[in-house]
């Protein structure tokens, strides 16, 4: 099934919120998933992998303990919170390479780095256990990889966009990943009450005829 990028973003946002993340991070997750799809990557599958790990319930254990030097947490780092930090504190890795240790679902970091370099009209290289992805914010050069976790991520300015991925205007996520997202998204909808059912029925108990 094919979906517009707007549909992908909206579903990813609700799914992330339904998994327990704050709305602010959920909005960023929606944008990140959309960006991956626009680059021809399976953004919904990457997000589904992450949400299935249940990091939101103990998020402090999946965040860097210190933003100076190498980033590491008590457990595998969450790419959404780390990605937001990479975007907010881009000056840290513009000054020199920044290394992150033990990152879950690392492809979700790419949109955040892309957002930062686009603002600077630059190019950045993200090295995932030795595999390079290069982006100028709008385009991406990256081999097709399936990574649930990496031991090392290095983010640095510079690089050459070689084989650019064709830009996409729609997404065709695999059904299993899409089901994961829609199931998480469903949690954000309030259950129907007697009052809401009456309001939704029109006249309810009143008779205006």
Task: Tell me the DSSP string of 98-164.
Answer: EEEEEEESGGGGHHHHHHHHHHTT--EEEEETTEEEEE-SS-EE------SEEEEEEEEE-----SP
3-state secondary structure of 10: helix
Segment 133-149, tens digit of pLDDT: 999 999 999 999 989 99
Tokens (6 digits) for 140: 């991406």
Query: What is the β-pairing status of strands 3-4 and 170-171?
Result: antiparallel
Residue 33 is classified by DSSP as H
Segment 81-98, tens digit of pLDDT: 999 999 998 888 888 999
Q: Which residue has the tokens 């983010």?
A: 155
Closest CA to 52 of 19, 78, 101: 19
**HSE, side-chain direction, 13 A CA sphere, residue 123:** 11
Segment 32-83, tens digit of pLDDT: 999 999 999 999 999 999 999 999 999 999 999 998 889 999 999 999 999 9
**CB neighbourhood size of 185 (10 A):** 20
């Amino acid at each position: 099934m094919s979906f517009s990028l707007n549909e992908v973003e909206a579903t990813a946002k609700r799914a992330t919120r339904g998994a327990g993340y704050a709305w602010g991070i959920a909005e960023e997750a929606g944008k990140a998933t959309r960006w991956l799809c626009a680059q021809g990557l399976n953004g919904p599958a990457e997000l589904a992998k992450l949400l299935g790990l249940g990091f939101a319930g103990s998020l402090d254990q999946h965040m860097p303990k210190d933003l100076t030097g190498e980033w590491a947490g008590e457990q595998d780092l969450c790419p959404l919170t780390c990605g937001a930090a990479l975007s907010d504190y881009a000056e840290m890795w513009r000054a020199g390479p920044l290394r992150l240790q033990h990152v879950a679902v690392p492809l979700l970091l790419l949109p955040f780095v892309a957002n930062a370099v686009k603002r600077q009209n630059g190019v950045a290289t993200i090295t995932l256990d030795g595999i390079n992805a290069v982006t100028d914010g709008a385009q991406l050069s990256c081999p097709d990889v399936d990574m649930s976790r990496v031991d090392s991520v290095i983010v640095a300015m510079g690089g050459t966009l070689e084989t650019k991925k064709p830009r996409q205007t729609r997404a065709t996520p695999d059904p299993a990943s899409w089901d994961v997202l829609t199931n998480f998204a469903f949690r954000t909808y309030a259950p129907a009450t007697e009052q809401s059912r009456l309001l939704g029925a029109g006249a309810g108990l009143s008779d205006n005829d």
